[in-house]
Amino acid sequence: MGAVRTAFGMQGTGLVSYAAALLILGRWPTVESGQVPFAVVLGVLGVISVSALYRALALGPIAVVAPVVASYVAITVLLVVVFLGERLSPAQAIAAGVVFVGVVATSTDGRELRATLGRPVPGVRIGLIATIGFGIWGALFAIATRAYDWTVMILLLRMTSFVFVGTYILTRRIDLRAFRDRRALAQATTVGVLDTLANALFGLGIATGFASITATGSGAYPIVPAILGVAALRERLAPNQYAGIAILVLGLLALGAAS
* DSSP label of 174: -
pLDDT at 18: 93
Q: Is 238 helix (H, G, I), strand (E, B) or coil?
A: coil
Q: Which of 45-54, 60-69, 127-136, 249-258 reaches the highest mean pLDDT?
A: 127-136
Please, which residues have CB within 8 angstroms of residue 225's CB and are 6 or more apart in sequence? none
pLDDT at 115: 65
What average pLDDT does range 12-18 have in this prediction? Answer: 91
Helix axes 35-59, 2-24, angle to 10 degrees: 140
Q: What is the mean pLDDT of the chain?
A: 84
Is the model's pLDDT at 75 over the cut of 80? Answer: yes
169-207: b (≥16 Cβ within 10 Å) or e: beeeeeeeeebeeeebeebbbebbbebbeebeebbebbe
Is the model's pLDDT at 124 over the cut of 80? Answer: no
Using one digit for the tens of pLDDT, what is the confidence trace for 21-38?
999 999 888 888 899 999
CA 96 to chain centre: 18
**pLDDT, greater one: 62 or 189:** 189
Residue 165 near residue 7, CB atoms below 8 Å: yes
What is the number of alpha carbons within 13 Å of residue 171 lying toward its C-beta? 7
Is the model's pLDDT at 1 over the cut of 60? Answer: no
Cα–Cα distance measured from residue 27 to residue 101, given in angstroms and rounded to the nearest whole number: 39
Using one digit for the tens of pLDDT, what is the confidence trace for 100-123?
888 888 877 777 766 666 555 667
pLDDT at 143: 94
Q: What is the DSSP string of 46-107?
A: HHHHHHHHHHHHHHS-HHHHHHHHHTHHHHHHHHHHHHH-----HHHHHHHHHHHHHHHHHH
Cα–Cα distance measured from residue 15 to residue 51, given in angstroms and rounded to the nearest whole number: 19
pLDDT at 3: 66
Using one digit for the tens of pLDDT, what is the confidence trace for 142-188?
999 999 999 999 999 899 999 998 998 889 888 888 777 888 888 88
pLDDT at 160: 92
Angle formed at CA 72 by CA 58 and CA 16, multiple of 5 degrees: 75
Is the model's pLDDT at 189 over the cut of 90? Answer: no
pLDDT at 231: 77
**pLDDT, greater one: 238 or 157:** 157
pLDDT at 67: 74
Residue 197, φ and ψ in degrees, nearest 5: -60, -40
**Amino acid type, 81:** V
Residue 49 near residue 133, CB atoms below 8 Å: yes
